[in-house]
């Protein structure tokens, strides 16, 4: 009797320095126009970023609870190139583009099969609990940099 | 070169007549009180119901596009018994309790390991595109009934 | 030069012990079925409860920041009786039904003109920052009770 | 006996060619980091755009139901410059920057008093019900252009 106990939500995966994260479109994501509401792509790509950090062994909840800090998005440039619909299986493809002391520049695409549905450049800034820019923890930066190296290999 | 192409969102699974669906809590699900915002459990259990229908071969998007109809929730009774938090892995456990001509009564629990986080009874009514109660398609009802039988076996 | 500076979001209003709160349906609230997604009514009625507290001079954010506590919903029983659509003006009608030491029972209806769109009974429990049931602050309870009296006048 | 019947959600307002729309931050808008979740600013600015169209006499729901078309966002560039919190009163300040045949370029700021919380440039494309770019209805374009003229007066 397993009682669904070994069932787990889908984790994303790295291939080289690129991170892939799958998700499905539910009713909650759509609007009366029949397509995914534009703000919800920002939810999708945040899930992928959280999964990427998790895959690197970074525990955002603990960082928050321990007063270390939290990422806040400072800038998003996103182009919507197609419309996702109810039941679509999407893939968020994520790459760290640039590691700075207190922020990261991230390229994220939402794809449906080989089609690019949305293409975003995101700047995530690390903040202290008081909301001030703060250097990212050193071990995190090291993991990001090791990841970058992978891409060049 | 796989490029994440075989990565898929987690499907739920039946064990007997009980359906299990896994999900993870992201930032979007939480609120300033540090826990999952109460309305979002309704999003979680809807995902599980959609997955259950999908597992039975029922295509809600096609039913909607073909003018056959759509489920709308007529009633929810939900008790919140614990608080889910950022990063928690949850399991939605779903059972069809009663199959009527134009609606279904569904019992759903949100669990974290063995703890019940939320417990809901949901009535989902089938509606025509004009929003009027409509008998559920016969093949769907047959699948629901076959599922019920499974539980008695 | 006003520059929109005196524009304010709509506050709700008490008439006797009944609180009225207006809102409008936007794209974000709808889904592909063309109607308001069922979970979003829980967002609507929470806005009305927050407005009711504010009208009574209760500052939830301060209570949270000062470690006094926060309301968490313990139970919702909601019946969906009609479908709200894009652009609809709705009114949330709220009454405190019962004041207990650590929780409040609240009746809330979502109306469109004279039609009842949704009808909910909500139990809101007061919690300490650690998430344990806690008596509501005495001045709050006194305000709730004074409100109840109003209804009998 | 008014029964809250004359209570209405807050409409925005034009001053010259600039549109102002007020809103308040509720629990649903925040996340565990204690601030407004970044995707929700896209909900806020969409409300303001819908209100702007409404103020110009444009009925988006009817346009959708009549098969005329619907706006879909093609691009957003948004910078988050401060963090809004629970209970904050915000003002969305909107200007049409450029009217093209099948799209509009819109500048939107979210302000808290005199502080700019978020600053966005949005391209909204008009789409046919099949999701193809379509010229905006001529009477709409005329209203947009008349609005632009106002700014030069």
Q: Go through the domains of chain B in sequence order and give each one's CATH number.
A: 18-152 (3.10.129.10)
Q: Which residue has the tokens 């407005």?
A: C51
Confidence of residue A11 (pLDDT cuts 50, 70, 90): very high
Residues of C with a known catalytic role = 31
Backbone angles phi, psi at A5, to 5 degrees: -70, -25
B72 touches chain A (CB under 8 A): no
Cβ–Cβ of B31/D30 closer than 8 Å?
yes
Which distant-in-sequence residues (6+ apart) come within 8 Å of D101 by Cβ?
A: D135, D136
Interface confidence: ipTM more than 0.90: yes
Q: Tens digit of pLDDT for each residue in B48-105? A: 999 999 999 999 999 999 999 999 999 999 999 999 999 999 999 999 999 999 999 9
Q: Which two tokens stand for residue A142?
A: 């090291």
Spatial distance between the Cα atoms of D125 and D71, rounded to a whole number of angstroms: 5
Tell me the pTM. Answer: 0.97
Spatial distance between the Cα atoms of A37 and A29, rounded to a whole number of angstroms: 6
Q: Tens digit of pLDDT for each residue in C11-33? A: 999 999 999 999 999 999 999 99
SS3 A114: coil
Spatial distance between the Cα atoms of C61 and B132, rounded to a whole number of angstroms: 42
Backbone angles phi, psi at D10, to 5 degrees: -65, 125
Task: Report whether C60 contacts D86 (CB < 8 A).
Answer: yes
A9 touches chain C (CB under 8 A): no
Partners of C87 on chain D (C-beta within 8 Å) are: 50, 54, 59-61
Spatial distance between the Cα atoms of A69 and A82, rounded to a whole number of angstroms: 35
Q: What number is the average pLDDT over the span A125-149? A: 95
Cβ–Cβ of D20/C3 closer than 8 Å?
yes
- The CA–CA distances, whole Å, from B77 to A67, B35, B105, B123 equal 37, 20, 11, 9
Task: Report whether A105 contacts A96 (CB < 8 A).
Answer: yes
C73 touches chain B (CB under 8 A): yes
Cβ–Cβ of D79/A75 closer than 8 Å?
yes
SS3 C24: strand
Spatial distance between the Cα atoms of B116 and B139, rounded to a whole number of angstroms: 33
Q: Which two tokens stand for residue D146?
A: 């008349």
DSSP conformational letter for B30: B
Q: Which two tokens stand for residue A53?
A: 């950090």
Partners of B41 on chain A (C-beta within 8 Å) are: none
**Residue A149 Cα to chain centre, angstroms:** 20
Q: What is the pairing mode between strands C103-112 and D70-80?
A: unpaired
Q: Tens digit of pLDDT for each residue in D81-107? A: 999 999 999 999 999 999 999 999 999
Cβ–Cβ of C10/D12 closer than 8 Å?
no
A116 touches chain D (CB under 8 A): no
For position A150, what pLDDT does the model report?
Answer: 81
């Amino acid at each position: 009797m397993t009682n669904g106990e070994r069932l787990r939500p889908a984790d994303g995966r790295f291939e080289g320095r690129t991170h892939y994260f799958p998700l499905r479109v539910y009713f909650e994501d759509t609007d009366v126009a029949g397509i995914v509401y534009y703000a919800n792509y920002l939810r999708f790509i945040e899930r992928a970023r959280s999964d990427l950090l998790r895959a690197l062994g970074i525990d955002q909840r603990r960082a928050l609870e321990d007063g270390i800090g939290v990422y806040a998005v400072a800038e998003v440039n996103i182009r919507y190139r197609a419309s996702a619909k109810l039941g679509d299986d999407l893939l968020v493809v994520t790459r760290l583009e640039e590691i700075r002391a207190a922020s990261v520049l991230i390229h994220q695409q939402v794809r449906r099969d080989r089609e690019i549905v949305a293409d975003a450049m995101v700047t995530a800034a690390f903040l202290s609990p008081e909301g001030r820019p703060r250097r990212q923890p050193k071990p995190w930066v090291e993991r990001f940099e090791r990841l970058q190296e992978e891409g060049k290999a």
